[in-house]
Structure 1
Amino acid sequence: MKLAGLTVAYWAVVAASLLPIGCAWLAKSGTFSKPRRDGGFDNQHPREWLARQSDWRARANAAQANSFEALPFFIGAVIIAHQLGAAQVRLDVLAFLFVVLRVLYIMMYVANLATARSLAWTLALIVNIAILFV
């Protein structure tokens, strides 16, 4: 299936590529209106500001890093599957499932549900490997 010339799997790549941005926004949310001296976001030194965060903000930032780490394998798997002529519907479903699992992973990470987070991460990895063999 195609939308605007891209398959659902390619749209899933777009969605997965935006997840780190969503995590960064989440980590910084609610701090833009605060002055820096009161703990508000410091756009002059964003990495240092993020390094000082704790609790759910720190976990959102860690989820951002992990989301970037997961991207190359997913993008590569989708491209390889397309080039090898994978069954498009299966590929689309698996790619969509990968994104859903990564969203769940982020939610579980931010909520500090470590076991559920690890399960979502593992399932997403398995789905990503399955994309290569579809």
Structure 2
Amino acid sequence: MTIAEWCVFASVMLYLLTIAPVKWLGAKQFDNARPRDPAFYQDGIRARALGAHQNGIEAFPFFAVAVLLAEFRVAPQNLINELSILFVIVRSAYVLTYVGDRPALRSILWALGFVITAAIFFLPLIRNYLHV
């Protein structure tokens, strides 16, 4: 497996691990029979963790497809790997800023993550100009 493919796995783990601590820390109020109970997520940090989790689910498909498409179309693997690592780092920072209630920085990181994913997606298109 390539580093980029491991980053796809890491991005899944990131959005799963975004919500797990909130459920664990609120175990007394969390009802596993009703894991999506909106009342549990009304608390500020819980609501933000849920938002970061949901956004991770939304960001994942484009990132995964971009990586697989770039690899399938034989874009430079070192660039796919480097951009994928950068994506996971940016998304990790995004989660921290979301949970930490830093909306302006969070929006910047979201945009940066999207640009990184788009760059991976378009690597096959520009590979002839990269000389890598």
How far off its partner does 1:72 sit?
Answer: 0.6
How far off its partner does 1:50 sit?
Answer: 5.7
For residues 79 and 49 of structure 1, what CA distance do their matches in structure 2 show? 35
For residues 88 and 14 of structure 1, what CA distance do their matches in structure 2 show? 17
For residues 35 and 110 of structure 2, what CA distance do their matches in structure 1 show? 27
Residue of structure 2 equivalent to 1:12: 7
Which of 35, 39, 47 aligns to 1:58? It is 47
Residue of structure 2 equivalent to 1:97: 86
Deviations 1:63-85 (A, max 9, x none): 10000000110010001000110
Which of 76, 85, 95 aligns to 2:65? It is 76
How far off its partner does 1:57 sit?
Answer: 1.1
> Once the two structures are aligned, what percentage of the paired residues are identical?
37
Q: Which runs of 4+ in 1 moved over 6 A?
A: none
Residue of structure 2 equivalent to 1:117: 106
For residues 3 and 23 of structure 2, what CA distance do their matches in structure 1 show? 30
What value does the CA root-mean-square deviation take over the aligned residues? 1.3
Deviations 1:18-53 (A, max 9, x none): 112111113213122x3xxxxx21111111156543
Give the secondary-structure state (helix, strand or coil) at the position aligned to 1:44. coil
Preserved contact between residue 59 and residue 110 of structure 1 (Cα < 8 Å) = yes
For residues 97 and 87 of structure 1, what CA distance do their matches in structure 2 show? 16
Q: Does 1:23 align with 2:6?
A: no
| Structure 1: gaps of 5 or more residues | 1-5, 35-39
Give the secondary-structure state (helix, strand or coil) at the position aligned to 1:118. helix
Preserved contact between residue 50 and residue 58 of structure 1 (Cα < 8 Å) = no
For residues 74 and 37 of structure 2, what CA distance do their matches in structure 1 show? 46
